Every structure is written in structure tokens, then in C-alpha cells.
Amino acid sequence: MGLKILLHLFPLLGLAHALVLARTPTPCAKLPKPHIPGAKVISITGEEKHNLTVLQQPPTLPIDVEALNICEVNVTLTHPGAFDTVLVQAWLPLDTWNERFVALGGSGWLAGPGSAGLAIPASEGYVAAFTDAGLPGGNAVSPELWALGPDGKVSTELLENFASRSVHDLAVVGKALIKAFYGCPAKYSFWDGCSTGGRQGLVEAQKYPRDFDGILASAPAIYWPEYVMAELWPQVVMYEAGYYPSRCVLDNIVNAAISACDAEDGVEDGVVAEPAKCKFDLSTVIGTSVICDGGEHVEITEQAASIVRKMWEGPTTSDGKQLWHGMPIGASLADLSASQDVNGTAAGSPFFVPDTWARYFILEDPDFNAANINTEKFISLFRKSKKRFDSIIGSANPDLSGFKKAGGKLLVWHGLSDQLIYPQDSEQYYREVQHVTGYIEDTFRLFLAPGVDHCGAGFASIAPGAVPKNPFRDLVTWVESGKRPDALEAATTPNAKTQFTRKICAYPRMAVLHEGEDPTVAESYECAL
């Protein structure tokens, strides 16, 4: 899920109203403990760091950041009765502050990006902060060290921290530190996160609508109990078939679908513009020979095509009732359909998020093998996941009336070739919010990026679409000037086979090419229904 994330490069904005700091009302080393409702501060430390260099740490920090002058503050807190120890770290610029605060979200099983994630926004004048939510181990791919308590049962207090509580604490702490250090509050407060971080942002809008003026929630992991289980469906399909297609075969089937549906929007660019409308006939690839690693010729079988069809259709009950969305056509199948060799026999290799969710949280059994479950067992786990955990980490409350009343702005973007968190989730949430909250165009904007994979990381060569260039900048502009974004600027990643720019239009509009104009430049398109 969240490992394939490059943090947004923060925009050079707002220097016209930045504060050049000659002094601070409270020295860095003497900042008072902030008051946090429902929590107790154990300790606070502050240290000035001058001419700091933070070396790139892909994927968290894609570039070196040099010459930072910051006050680094570490606040350690606990929630009475929870027996947790939570860290909130903030970097406050010593020289020039742009009067903005940004809190950064996590990825996978991490609640925050770590210190390296603060470097870019701090270099642009933001006060930047994150929290570890008190989750021991700092492991993005496994909650093994914190999911279960000494009694072998789910640690609900730590799960609550991960789900929502620590995100609100982060906002409270960050704002308190700013007021103490600079002698005045931030003019604007923002949230920025993708995947797990996107889900955290939506929780803020739902539960704590006055924490942030603007929230960027990219590829949000909403409907957590359902979507995480749906990620296991490809493994169920392969296990029941007793057949595990190679990545080469899966990639070739997906590429065939992309080729068949590519031109449906009038532009041949290697991208399926509307996956839901792609009616690719899988029978057309059965019996075809594809060249795989080492020049080996492999035939695509009817069994392989049937497996892919079920993955695209999504999980259903025995009577045909749809449980959740299927994988979007055009997205890579490699991560969720991975397999491995076990003593000479092919076996499933579940993606780490649904695998650990099933083992530690649903069944409280670390030894459970999530690769070997049939449809009946899957349905049981799916329903148990939703029933037990939706109220804790569902993160999909469609009532945003409080956020709307507070004047908050929510910008969500999602790749239509997201192979991990399906874009249909974000579409569904937008429609539900629209139904419950009413008119939301001045509060909530959704952007769906054709051919873009999870968080726009660009690791899936199968997903060559145009990635939003700087949605955080668009959010800042929307919040501070009231200019609602109707389209995001986007461009293909450097490793894409075809280079082009594109407009990503606010849902439900799409980019439509002007007749006779250059299809490789964004200016040739307009947003239309």
C-alpha cells in the first residue's frame, strides 16, 4: 500500500507574507508542555539545528535537503489507561516562517513519514510535524510488535491511535508549539498524506473538522475493513483454481486490455481513460503466445483468463452479491496476485497489508496462512472485518457538514490504475458525501488520474498516465485565495514510454481533446462531462 510514495514537493508559496524571524518569544529549548485534551505530556525537548543536511531517503525523501535551520521539538505523550508512548516531532524554521503549518501522514502500517519527511516542507518555510501514534517498531509492512496485547487480543487502544486519535493529537501539538515559539498562531493549517496518510486526512475532516483549513488526501485508504479484505480476493481466486499465472502472463493480459480500450477517449496514449467502461473480451487472448523472461514462449490459457476476469469482477457471495469492487482494468495485477515457489510448488504470496490485517486483527492468529483461503472463508473474514472494525477504522463517514461549516477544503486525487487501493472507493465516497452533505463543490473536490498507479509513484510500467504535478500547491491556493481547482496540472513520470502533459479534471468531468490539436499537451484539452 503505502511503500510506493514520493512526498509532494512543497511549493515556493507565500513568501510575501512570511515572517523573517529576528527572535522568538520562547526559546527552542524552553518551550512549555502543550495541553492536549485526553492525553498527558510525558516530556518535551527542543533543540536548534543549524545548517542541517538531510540526505535523500527514497521513497520518503527523494532529494537531498541542505542548509536547514530549524528548532526540532519532540513531544512525548500518553493517553491515560492506554499504556502507550506517543512521539510527535515538529520542525520549526528558525529564519523564515511562511505562517503555515503542515502535518504529514503515514504509509502502510506507519502513522507518519519520520524525520526525513519533514525536510522538504521545512525548507520551504512550513512548520512541519508528524506522529508515530505510539506504534512500537516503526515497521511499515507489519504491525507485529503492537497489534496484539500480552493476552493475545487486539490492542484496541493502539489501533485507535493508528486510526484517528493520534492524528488529532498531532494537530493540537503542532498548533500549540507554533503559538509558543513564534508568539502567534499559524494563519493556515494543512494536512498532506497519501494511502494511509490519505485515510488519516479524511478522518480529520470527519471527526475533527476544525483541525485543518485544507486537507490533501491522495489515494485514501478509506473503507479500510472492506477494501483491505478485497485485496486478498486475487489470492482466493488463484487458490481455488489451483493455478498461479506468472507476472509475465498477467502483464500481457492487462496490456492487451489497455490496447483494446486505449482509443475509446479519442486519444491513443497507452492509457485507459475510463476503466469502468472498458469491455475487453478476454477470450481474444486465450491461446496467444507471449514472450517472457529468457525468451520463453508462454501460452495464455483459458484458466489464466478466467482468473483475471474474476479479479476484475471483484469478490462476490455464492449467490452473486457483490461484496466489494474489483481491480480496475488497466492496473497492474502483480502486487495482489503475487505467487512464490514453495518446495517446487506454486503458492500464493498475499500483499502485506491484507495478510497482516487478517492474521493479527481479524483472527488474532499470527500463524494463519492468508494464501490458502477459499471463497467461503473469505466471505466470513470480510464480514467479520466490517462488523468488528468499521466503527474504529472505516474512515468513511460521509457527513462532512462540520468540515463544510468550518470552511475547510478537501482535495482528493486517485490514480485510475491504482493497483492497491481501488479508485472506485474514492468515487463511492464522493457520491455518498454528496448525498449526505449536499452541495460540496466548494468543500470537496475529487480528481481521478487515468493510467496512474498508487500515489503516482510510477513504479508500475503498466501505468504510464499523467501524475498530478503539485496538488498541494493547488490546495494551498484554494484555501488562501478561494480559487477552487477545476483541473490539476499533470505530466507523465520520466520513466514513462510516452511523454505528455494533461489536465486532470474535477470529477465527474473528463479531459476532452479539442479536434485537430496536439494530444500530448494539456492545453489541447477541456474539462467536460
* Active centre residues (catalytic): 195, 418, 454
CA-to-CA distance for 217 and 206, rounded, in angstroms? 13
CA-to-CA distance for 314 and 309, rounded, in angstroms? 9
For residue 374, the Cα-to-chain-centroid distance in whole angstroms is 29
Backbone angles phi, psi at 442, to 5 degrees: -90, 0
Q: Which residues pair with 148 in a beta bridge?
A: 154
List the one residue out of 219, 248, 229 whose CA is nearest residue 453.
219
Q: Which residues pair with 527 in a beta bridge?
A: 511
CA-to-CA distance for 116 and 516, rounded, in angstroms? 46
512 three-state secondary structure: strand
The answer to whether residues 129 and 88 touch, using CB atoms and an 8 Å cutoff, is yes
How many degrees, rounded to 5, is the angle at CA 270 between CA 269 and CA 273?
Answer: 80
List the one residue out of 409, 2, 426, 421 whose CA is nearest residue 194.
2
What element of type H or E holds 100? strand 100-104
418: left (phi over 0), alpha (psi -120 to 50) or beta: beta
Q: Which amino acid is at 320?
A: G
Other residues' Cβ atoms within 10 Å of the Cβ of residue 123? 23
156 three-state secondary structure: helix
489 three-state secondary structure: strand
What element of type H or E holds 249? helix 247-261
CA-to-CA distance for 175 and 133, rounded, in angstroms? 17
Count CA atoms within 13 Å of residue 113 on its CB side: 34
* Preceding peptide of 59 cis, ω within 30°: yes
- The single residue listed with the C-alpha cell 498508487 is 454
CA-to-CA distance for 525 and 62, rounded, in angstroms? 31
Query: Between 302-313 and 247-261, two packed helices, what is the crossing angle to 10 degrees?
Result: 70
List the one residue out of 134, 103, 8 whose CA is nearest residue 60.
8
